[in-house]
Chains A and B, each alone.
Chain A
Amino acid sequence: MAYGEKLIDHYENPRNIGSMDKHATDVGTGLVGAPACGDVMKLQIKVSPDGIIEDAKFKTFGCGSAIASSSLVTEWVKGKTLDEAESIKNTQIAQHLALPPVKIHCSVLAEDAIKAAIADYRKKAGTMPRTESAAAVKVAAE
């Protein structure tokens, strides 16, 4: 299979590989896919108190397209609000990397990974006392 230039670049020089502390309250973790299907993505976001994604990291077990898709989304989500990040569509990823039709599922997985990371963060933010108090302080200041 011949791959596009952008895809090769993300595969060979993946951005933002790594892990963050999954127990930290400002970190959201998304783990999607299954080893039996040949791809697993772990995507993590670090969210600032004002709801901006400050940092993103990933690790992926999967083909070159899966690695490139996850690398690309970590770049895209940085600096975005949660709502903005949540609106990223798999078609944008597939188009940007010029994924061949048999690889579209890789971009779907990357979209799922962001959504899962955001959901995880929101769940924590809703339950964790520290974040709650942070929100309470914010409300009080208003």
Chain B
Amino acid sequence: MATKTIEASPKEAPAGRNIQLPIYLDYQATTPTDPRVVEAMLPYFTTKFGNPHSRNHSFGWEAEEGVEIARAQIAALVGASDKEIIFTSGATESNNLAIKGVGRFYKDRRNEIVTVVTEHKCVLDACRHLEEEGGFKVTYLAVKQNGLVDLDHLRQAVTDKTALVSVMAVNNEIGVVQPLKEIAAIAHEKGAFFHTDAAQAAGKIPLDVEAMGIDLMSISAHKMYGPKGVGALYVRRKPRVRLQALIHGGGQERGMRSGTLPVPLIVGFGKAAEIARTEMAKDNERIRRLSDRLFDAINKQLKDVILNGDREQRFPGNLNLSFSYVEGESLMMGIRDIAVSSGSACTSASLEPSYVLRALGVEEEMAHTSIRFGIGRMTTEAEIDYAVETIVKHVKKLREMSPLWEMVQEGIDLKSIQWSEH
């Protein structure tokens, strides 16, 4: 084939294997929409196309009913009341609304925000934006080597001027689960609200806003087998959390988020939440088994593979591994028929590896060797086995090619070398 470039899927699946290439192992980036979700959405594009805000005819009523059922389904997933669910365009908007909205509303009384350095960029960026706006003080807490928040440090950072503590539930890069209940208690001791970015957690791990003391929570549909372009912000009613809207207009969503609701997306989001709630235990049992299978098989065949983030406090569908002495992007190029993400940032002009891994104290050279494996609802055992085989083969090949591997085998301490920075 005389094509100029070579994209994914360079070869056929090996004979006798029940798999299709390429294999998707990037469930933190996004998930496929569950076919049951798509089916639930379809009528809302064609026959039930009404505007849910049209109060005067059945088209509007029908659409409104679809939205309200979905709202209840999403509320049920996290133990909320349906009046506490505000629809947005996704978790990025939800995080922006929670941080800027709460920050600006309470600014006169409380102008401090406490967050963590390993948060998603949209949380960090929203915080920085408030700092630039002026009048806010933001504390960015470091994390422990296992990626978890140090509760003592958090306790010291929260003051009676803190309006909001924002800590994500499950980290997108390394999958660690933060101690939400304990964090909420610390925030509440000082009268601050607790917001959690649950984009990677909702539908994956059990969440209960009441039991955990969560005041605001961001959720994304497309990370839980729903459609892209829709998300939600849970906003507690008792005691009431108030916020300043970011988007003004028709006053939909109780004035917190104007704009006509994307009914088909919301209906799909609701269906996805319902499936996640009823099948979570079953899904998680499978995902844990597949995750252990991948981890154990790789470790059996390769040495110097390190798991980034806490071993126990994690969502098992996220395995972030450093393959020492093998650069992540070259490994990704070798395993082109397996879709994964790399903590290496060789593609970016900055040459900076992942800020999340660096925050864990992972050495820069190790951060360059990391690959994130995302396992989800559609992953099969045959896919995991194929992935392991491919990875082991390429890591071995690339180590044979690696001057660092050679030096370490010769007993040279890499730290003793005077490297030329460039």
Contacts and interface: CB of A to CB of B under 8 A. Distances in A.
Contacts of B414: 35
Contacts of B5: 2-5
Contacts of A34: 419-422
B420 A67 contact: no
Contacts, number: 105
A1 interface: yes
Interface in B313-355: 325-327, 329-330, 333-334, 344-349, 351, 353
Contacts of A1: 347
Interface of A: 1-5, 8, 11, 14, 17, 19, 31-42, 59-64, 66-67, 102, 105, 108-109, 112
Main secondary structure of the interface of A (DSSP, over half): mixed
Given A5-B4, A63-B327, 8 more contacts: A2-B6, A2-B7, A5-B3, A17-B401, A35-B414, A38-B345, A63-B333, A63-B344
B344 to A, nearest CB: 6
Contact of A14 (B348, B363, B401, B403): B401
Contact of B419 (A14, A36, A108, A109): A36
Contacts of A61: 325-327, 402-405
B403 A31 contact: yes
A63 B353 CA distance: 13
Interface string B1-37: 0011111000000000000000000000000000000
B333 A37 contact: no
Contacts of A37: 351, 364, 421-422
Interface string B382-422: 00000000000000000011111110000000100101111
Interface of B: 3-7, 325-327, 329-330, 333-334, 344-349, 351, 353, 363-365, 368, 400-406, 414, 417, 419-422
A60 B3 CA distance: 27
B406 A19 contact: yes
Contacts of B401: 14, 17, 59-60, 67
A59 B402 contact: yes
Given A2-B7, A8-B6, A63-B346, A40 B329 contact: no
Nearest to A64: B333
Contacts of A64: 329-330, 333
